[in-house]
Amino acid sequence: MLAIVCPGQGSQTPGFLTDWLEVDGVRDHLSALSEITGRDLIAHGTVSDEETIKDTAVAQPLIVAAGLVTARALFGAQLPAGAVLAGHSVGEITASALAGALGENDAMSFVRTRANAMAEAAAATPTGMAAVLGGDPDEVLAKLEELGLTPANANGGGQTVAAGTLEQLETLVANPPAKARVIPLKVAGAFHTSHMAPAVGVLEELSKTLAPRAPAQLLLSNFDGAPVANGEANLGSLVAQVSRPVRWDLCMETLAAQGVTGLLELSPAGTLVGLARRGLKGVKTLALKTPEDLGAARDFVAEHTAN
C-alpha cells in the first residue's frame, strides 16, 4: 500500500522549484495558483531569498502549491487507487485537495486566508518553534510544561516541536531536557498553540463560503491520526488545527496499521521521509525533491500499488 504525504512549513528552501519549471505544465499550473493566492509563487519558488519564503504569508501558499504541482507532474489528474493521504500542518491542506475533500481553488483560498491570518496573529507577540530531538518523552513534556511551552507537534521518532514565546524558547535552548537537542525552526510564529487563536475565527468565516466534499481516498487527520469521516468534518478539523497540536505520531501509527509498505513525500520533500525512517521501521520511503526523481517515483508507486 502506498502513502502519499505532504510536508509542512519549514520544509521550503530557496530555489527549490527552479528545476520543476522545466516540466510540461508546471509553470502554467503555478501561475494559476498564484492568481488565486495573490502571491507570485513562481518567483518565490525560484529566486526569492530564505527570509522572504520564511514569511508565513508566503511560505504556506508556496508549500501547498508545490505539493499540488509536483503531484500532477507525477500522477497526472488521477492519483493511484487505494493510496492513503496525509499532510503535516499546512500540508494537510495539500493532502485534502489531492484526496478530493477540497477543490483546488478552495484549498488555495483556504491556505491564502490561513497564511495571512496566522502571520497577523504571529505579529502580535514574538513567538516561534523549536524541535526537541531525543530525551525521555515524559521528561521532555515536563520541561515544556515547566517553561510554559506547548508541544505543538508530536512528530514521533523521538521528535517533539515546542512552541511559545522567543524568551521561553531561548530558555529551552539554554537548558534542554536531559539527553535531548533543541534546534530552533525557520518559522515565524508559535503555530498550533493558543497564540494562533485569532486565526481560527477568520477561517471559520471563510469555511462558510467553501464546498467541502467527501474524500475520494483515505485521508488522515492531524488531530488524532484517524481517517476523516466526511468533507465537512475535514474542513472543521483544518480550521481547528491552526491552534491545536499536530499529532503526526498518530498519523504514522495509522499508516502502519493500514499496512502501508511505501511512503512517498511530495515536494518540498525530506522532512516526513526522515520521520518515517525513524518511526515507520520497515516502510520504504522516497522523497520527490526534483524532476530527476520522477522516474524513480513512478517505479516506487508501481511497486507499492501492485495488486
CATH code of 143's domain: 3.30.70.250
Q: pLDDT per residue over 67-124, tens digit each?
A: 999 999 999 989 999 999 999 999 999 999 999 999 999 999 999 999 999 999 999 8
Statement to judge: residues 252 and 299 lie in one domain: yes
Among residues 242, 253, 227, 259, the alpha carbon closest in space to that of 193 is found at 242
Q: Report how many domains make up the chain.
A: 2
pLDDT given at position 285? 98
- In the numeric block, which cell numbers belong to residue 241? 488545527
pLDDT mean over 167-196 = 92
Statement to judge: residues 112 and 129 lie in one domain: no
Which active-site residues does the annotation give? Answer: 89, 192
Residue 245 is classified by DSSP as: -
pLDDT classification of 307: cutoffs 50, 70, 90 = low
* 7 vs 154: CA distance, rounded Å: 14
Statement to judge: residues 129 and 119 lie in one domain: no
Contact by Cβ (8 Å): 76, 83: no
* 278 vs 270: CA distance, rounded Å: 13
Statement to judge: residues 241 and 278 lie in one domain: yes
Q: pLDDT per residue over 295-305, tens digit each?
A: 999 999 999 99
Contacts of 88 (CB under 8 A, 6+ apart): 5, 6, 7, 8, 153, 155, 222, 246, 248, 251, 271, 272
Cα four-point dihedral sign 254, 200, 182, 14: positive
Helices first, then strands: H and E counts in the chain: 13, 8
Statement to judge: residues 106 and 218 lie in one domain: yes
**Residue 227 CB-density burial (10 A; 0-12 exposed, 13-18 middle, 19+ buried):** middle
Q: pLDDT per residue over 137-180, tens digit each?
A: 999 999 999 999 999 999 988 899 999 999 999 999 999 999 99
The CATH number that applies at residue 81 is: 3.40.366.10
Statement to judge: residues 23 and 33 lie in one domain: yes
Statement to judge: residues 203 and 283 lie in one domain: yes
Statement to judge: residues 24 and 93 lie in one domain: yes
pLDDT mean over 7-29 = 95
Statement to judge: residues 105 and 117 lie in one domain: yes
Statement to judge: residues 113 and 208 lie in one domain: yes
Give the structural domain span for 40.
2-123+193-305
Question: How does 43-54 read in b/e, with b if 16+ C-beta sit within 10 Å?
Answer: ebbbebeeeebb
Statement to judge: residues 112 and 251 lie in one domain: yes
Q: Alpha helix (H) ranges present in 23-99?
A: 26-37, 41-46, 50-54, 56-75, 91-99
* 40 vs 58: CA distance, rounded Å: 9
Q: Residue 26 pLDDT more than 90?
A: yes
pLDDT mean over 204-230 = 96
pTM of this prediction exceeds 0.85: yes
Q: Which of 162, 184, 206 is the last residue of a domain?
A: 184
**Residue 140 CB-density burial (10 A; 0-12 exposed, 13-18 middle, 19+ buried):** buried
Statement to judge: residues 116 and 133 lie in one domain: no
pLDDT classification of 49: cutoffs 50, 70, 90 = very high
pLDDT given at position 185? 86
